[in-house]
Amino acid sequence: MENLFIEGFEERPQVDFNANTGILEISESSYPEYTKEIYTPIVDWLTQYLATNGRKFTFNFRMDYFNTSTSSRFQKIIEQLNDYHTSKKGEVTINWFYEEGDTDMFEYGEDYSKDAKMPFNLISYPPKS
């Protein structure tokens, strides 16, 4: 399976899904008015990736900021990952990164983790200089 890389720019996130290493990551910011055109190829790739049983992978969220529309897309992605993990088709770990002191981003991760039925790690990192 080919990797998926989408360069982040303006209000669009960077996507780096590496099928070989099993590290799937969405990062930076996501606040477009319409998220369908951005997230459709992401979800399509993920659906194809999850069609193979036995995968063990990590999904990293490294967001600086995202809007409500993006939040609903993240919820759907987490549901896909839950389904894959709970059906015992594979093993998924989610890492939610947030900057120390960013209580909003921490709380978003905490909220998503409540619905997760797989390992969900909240990981802080030092503020950018």
111-124 pLDDT tens trace: 999 989 999 999 99
Mean pLDDT of the chain, nearest integer:
96
pLDDT digits (tens, 9 = 90+) for 36-81: 999 999 999 999 999 999 999 999 999 999 999 999 999 999 999 9
Note the pLDDT of residue 89: 93
Domain ranges of the chain: 23-125
pTM of the predicted structure, to 2 decimals:
0.95
Please answer whether residues 15 and 32 qualify as being in contact, where contact means their C-beta atoms are separated by less than 8 angstroms.
Answer: no
Sign, Cα dihedral of 29, 31, 37, 41: positive
Note the pLDDT of residue 128: 80
